[in-house]
Structure 1
Amino acid sequence: MATRSSMDAFLQRCEDTLRNAQEQYLAGQRQEHYHDLEYTQSLQGLEDVISELQIMAHSANAQQREQLYRMRLQIEQLQNKMILLNH
């Protein structure tokens, strides 16, 4: 089972990754093709977090799995928006 501290640290990392990607998404909407590298790195960061999230879910209890599921939905929603943005 995942410890509470490891789960909290991971969820915080997910939130930080989400925040960074949201900033890149907003910048991408305003500036179009500037900062392509940062935009791509943000997308890769989201993908990395999703992979880790799936691994973490295997050792999580039911409540932690629910938290991870909700976080995954947020990440995937932003990931889809970023992919569909005409950047």
Structure 2
Amino acid sequence: MATRDSVDQLLHEVEAALQSAEGMYMVHSKQSSWEDVSFQQTQQQLQEMSEKVAKMVTSADDMQKEALNRAQIRIERMQQKMLITDL
């Protein structure tokens, strides 16, 4: 069973990853292309967070699942935003 502390820690990590990705997105919107390494690192970080959230959802209670599902949606939106911008 996921503990409140473990869920809170993961949500904190997700928030940090999303803030980092948003910063990369803002820089990119002012430039013509992503730095390949930065783009790949950011995408990898978001994918890792997505996988961690998905694993934790399976052992979370209903309230925790709701918070984790919201985090997952935010990750997916950022991933889509970054991919669309990179096209």
TM > 0.5 fold call? yes
In 2: Cα distance, 1:8 partner to 1:28 partner: 30
Q: Which runs of 5+ in 2 are unaligned?
A: none
Aligned partner of 1:24 in structure 2 is: 24
Aligned partner of 1:11 in structure 2 is: 11
Aligned partner of 1:39 in structure 2 is: 39
Aligned partner of 1:85 in structure 2 is: 85
Q: Would you say how many aligned residue pairs link Structure 1 and Structure 2?
A: 87
In 1: Cα distance, 2:86 partner to 2:12 partner: 29
In 1: Cα distance, 2:53 partner to 2:77 partner: 15
Q: Which runs of 5+ in 1 are unaligned?
A: none
Aligned partner of 1:75 in structure 2 is: 75
SS of match in other structure, 1:60? coil
| Residues 50 and 75, structure 1, Cα contact 8 Å, conserved in 2 | yes
Segment of structure 1 superposing worse, 29-38 or 58-67: 29-38
**Normalising to structure 2: TM-score of the pair?**
0.92
Confirm whether residue 53 of structure 1 aligns to residue 53 of structure 2.
Answer: yes
| Residues 28 and 39, structure 1, Cα contact 8 Å, conserved in 2 | no
| Residues 53 and 72, structure 2, Cα contact 8 Å, conserved in 1 | yes
Confirm whether residue 63 of structure 1 aligns to residue 63 of structure 2.
Answer: yes
What is the aligned-residue RMSD (CA, Å)? 1.2
Task: Give structure 1 regions of 4+ aligned residues with deviation exceeding 6 angstroms.
Answer: none
**Normalising to structure 1: TM-score of the pair?**
0.92
